[in-house]
Chain A
Amino acid sequence: MGLWAYIGRRLVLAALVLIMVSIGTFLLSHAVPGDPISAIIGERQADNPEVRAQFERRFGLDKPLPLQYAYYVRNLLRGDLGLSISTRQPVVEDLQQFVPATIELTIAAMIFAITVGVPLGIIAAVRQNRWPDHLTRFIALIGTSVPVFWLGLLFLYVFFYRLRWLPGPGQLDPGMSRPDYVTGMVTVDAILARDWDALRSVLRHMVMPAVVLGSFAMGIVARMLRSSLVAAMSDDYVRTARAKGLVERRVVAGHALRNALIPTVTVLGLTFAGLLTGAVLTETIFSWPGMGQYAVKTAIKLDYPGLLGVTLVIAVTYVLFNLLVDVIYGILDPRIRIS
């Protein structure tokens, strides 16, 4: 199969999954217990059959379910996700406000996971079965075993409450005003506004949530890289590289690591969903004004349009991310395209 055919197939699959996702969210929104009409126009108005019928006609609720789904998809494609019950704003506006903070935090967590996880994995593989290996495996194991919300509380206690090294929950120091909204990401907006105090503050506030959120992905990256690097180190081409007299450093960095990184890249793409899951809990603990916090708020208040909006955004991101990983993988490793 050629590269383009492979990408085309992946695109079709992704589209199919997205259709399933939209059916899922549509059905979930219909499974909500309670009466959406009385929630919007009030109990007394909803008891009046004439008003009710008029309302149902206006919002297409008298139509058969498949037709309602068609309306739903049409609205989705127009970017209309309905009105949030808890904030009384269009869900799209809510999301525009909350999504950038999550993107910012997730990127920071990814950076932590890669910059710490990759060296740990390499050290563990090169010093296989000696103490650096055991230590690394132990750190990675803790990263994957500790519930993220508990790690967050622990960090807050140690680094904020006890040592006072880092600021507590929130995105900026109390009393500090947010730089003007351009991208919604406070770090980027602070740079654009040349507001260095705000930048310093937001970066300091970001350290703890990013480390906590990234710890799981870091553990996965380190363990994955270790095992694929150990396997690569016993391959023939590594022996050839050693035989021609390369220093060990170049054998590892130039030969073994390149091949070992491929599975790690895939796993990293897949842990992205894990990061978004963790973001829900991390944002709750650190009062980070992102999508996760919004999701929790809407779920507790049974604000369906809001929660489904978040669900949809995350599902779409995840599908696109997987598509990207598949494509990159197909480019990196031509063998994948054939199977």
Chain B
Amino acid sequence: MASATVQQHSVLLGSGAVLNKRRTPLGDAFRTLRRQPVAMSGFAIICAWLILALLAPILPIQDPNHQDIANRLQPPGPGHIFGTDDLGRDMVSRVIYGARISLPAGIVVILITGTFGCLVGAVAGYIGGWLDNVIMRIADAVLSFPSIILAMSITAASPFKDQRLFNALIAVALVLWPEYARVMRGQVLAIRSNEYVTAAEAIGASRGRVLLRHILPSTDAPIIVKATLDVGAAIVLTAGLSFIGLGAVPPNPEWGAMIKAGADKGTQYWWYAAVPGLAIMSVVMALNFFGDGLRDALDPRRRGR
């Protein structure tokens, strides 16, 4: 009896999906997004950076570690559009090679920490009870440390002393998961009370199956938007750790480490710190533009405002 009802239910859902095939919510969102010049320009900038990073070895630029002491600390000009650093290395090439470190680092960290946070939050929201309480109080405790201080403690306590960039990334990941757990938990709590979840439970689906097959696919937009915006936050945080000497170390062309090297040289060589800073800024702003556009596009109430 119960299974017949469920079957009927899924048939109804199935026919609904067929009806909506031409106009899916996601398709609507993309159409809205395409009409937003600001969001699309953000998207274009991110793509441009990714392409530059990917093609760096075959681009007609110098080796980022090629030293030319005779031409050290040259201001921007012909030959070196963004100038050279204290070892005569070309800033253009170093910034582009820096993108090969900072961009994947930011993206991978958010993918890992976001997935972990979402799973933990989903489990907390679905199972509930004491497990929920313990997980969310741990999340609160982590959130109550300013991220950089916690990251500093973790980097300093890490047993892998030589892998400093790796330590910094681990620290960033450990700091950022609770926010995902919170958002996800809220969504799961709302979805859990839906009839189709009760139905799945009624036919004896295991908790894991209900969570993975029925609840998680229904969660949506806010997490994606948050992840987009957080890639920028992760890049800035990693660069900040490098800047205070707890992240990437020279000769690694990581953007934060380059800014630190430039700042140590002195203000008269402004381009040394300014160029990698502009790189970070352009990436983070582009991610913000795109993330904001995505938020508007995914939220039907905001469309057309």
Of the candidate stretches A89-97, A200-208, A280-288, the one touching chain B is: A280-288
B26 to chain A: which residues have CB within 8 Å? Answer: none
Answer whether residue A318 sits at the interface, using C-beta atoms and an 8 A cutoff: yes
Answer whether residue A310 sits at the interface, using C-beta atoms and an 8 A cutoff: yes
Residue pair A315, B145 in contact (C-beta under 8 Å): yes
Q: What CA separation (Å) do A254 and B58 show in the bound complex?
A: 62
Residue pair A145, B259 in contact (C-beta under 8 Å): no
Q: What CA separation (Å) do A13 and B133 show in the bound complex?
A: 11
**Which residue of chain B has its CB nearest to the CB of A149?**
B243
Answer whether residue B138 sits at the interface, using C-beta atoms and an 8 A cutoff: yes
* CB of A277 to closest CB in B, whole Å: 4
Answer whether residue A101 sits at the interface, using C-beta atoms and an 8 A cutoff: no
Q: What CA separation (Å) do A33 and B158 show in the bound complex?
A: 8
Answer whether residue A253 sits at the interface, using C-beta atoms and an 8 A cutoff: no
* CB of B273 to closest CB in A, whole Å: 5
Residue pair A145, B156 in contact (C-beta under 8 Å): no
Interface of A is mostly: helix
* CB of B13 to closest CB in A, whole Å: 31
Would A318 and B268 be within 8 Å (CB), given that A24-B141, A147-B277 are in contact? no
**Which residue of chain A has its CB nearest to the CB of B268?**
A161
Q: What CA separation (Å) do A156 and B269 show in the bound complex?
A: 13
**Which residue of chain A has its CB nearest to the CB of B145?**
A315
Would A277 and B244 be within 8 Å (CB), given that A154-B274, A157-B270 are in contact? no
* CB of B62 to closest CB in A, whole Å: 24
**Which residue of chain A has its CB nearest to the CB of B305?**
A230
Over the window 122-163 of chain B, the binary record of Cβ atoms lying under 8 Å from chain A Cβ atoms (1 yes, 0 no) is: 000000000000000110111011111110111111010100
B149 to chain A: which residues have CB within 8 Å? Answer: 276-277, 280, 295, 310-311, 314
Q: What CA separation (Å) do A9 and B154 show in the bound complex?
A: 31
Residue pair A315, B144 in contact (C-beta under 8 Å): yes
Answer whether residue B246 sits at the interface, using C-beta atoms and an 8 A cutoff: yes
B153 to chain A: which residues have CB within 8 Å? Answer: 28, 299, 307-308, 311
Answer whether residue A176 sits at the interface, using C-beta atoms and an 8 A cutoff: no
A304 to chain B: which residues have CB within 8 Å? Answer: 156-157
Answer whether residue B225 sits at the interface, using C-beta atoms and an 8 A cutoff: no
Count of residues in A whose CB is under 8 Å from the partner chain: 48
Please indicate which of the listed interface residues B149, B270, B273, B281 has the most CB atoms of chain A within 10 Å of its own CB.
B149
Over the window 236-274 of chain B, the binary record of Cβ atoms lying under 8 Å from chain A Cβ atoms (1 yes, 0 no) is: 100110011110000000001001001100011010011
Answer whether residue B64 sits at the interface, using C-beta atoms and an 8 A cutoff: no
A141 to chain B: which residues have CB within 8 Å? Answer: 285, 288-289
Residues A145-172 near B (CB distance < 8 A): 145-150, 153-154, 156-157, 160-161
B156 to chain A: which residues have CB within 8 Å? Answer: 299-300, 302, 304, 307
Would A21 and B144 be within 8 Å (CB), given that A147-B236, A153-B259, A311-B150 are in contact? yes
B246 to chain A: which residues have CB within 8 Å? Answer: 299-300
Residue pair A296, B268 in contact (C-beta under 8 Å): no
* CB of A280 to closest CB in B, whole Å: 5
Would A299 and B146 be within 8 Å (CB), given that A21-B141, A146-B281, A149-B243 are in contact? no
Which 6 pairs from chain A and chain B are nearest by CB? Answer: A20-B141, A150-B277, A277-B146, A161-B267, A299-B152, A145-B284
A-B contact pairs, 28 of them (CB 8 A): A20-B138, A20-B140, A21-B141, A21-B145, A28-B153, A141-B285, A145-B285, A146-B277, A146-B281, A147-B236, A147-B259, A149-B259, A150-B259, A150-B280, A153-B262, A154-B274, A160-B267, A280-B149, A284-B243, A295-B149, A296-B244, A307-B156, A311-B145, A311-B149, A315-B144, A315-B145, A318-B144, A322-B144
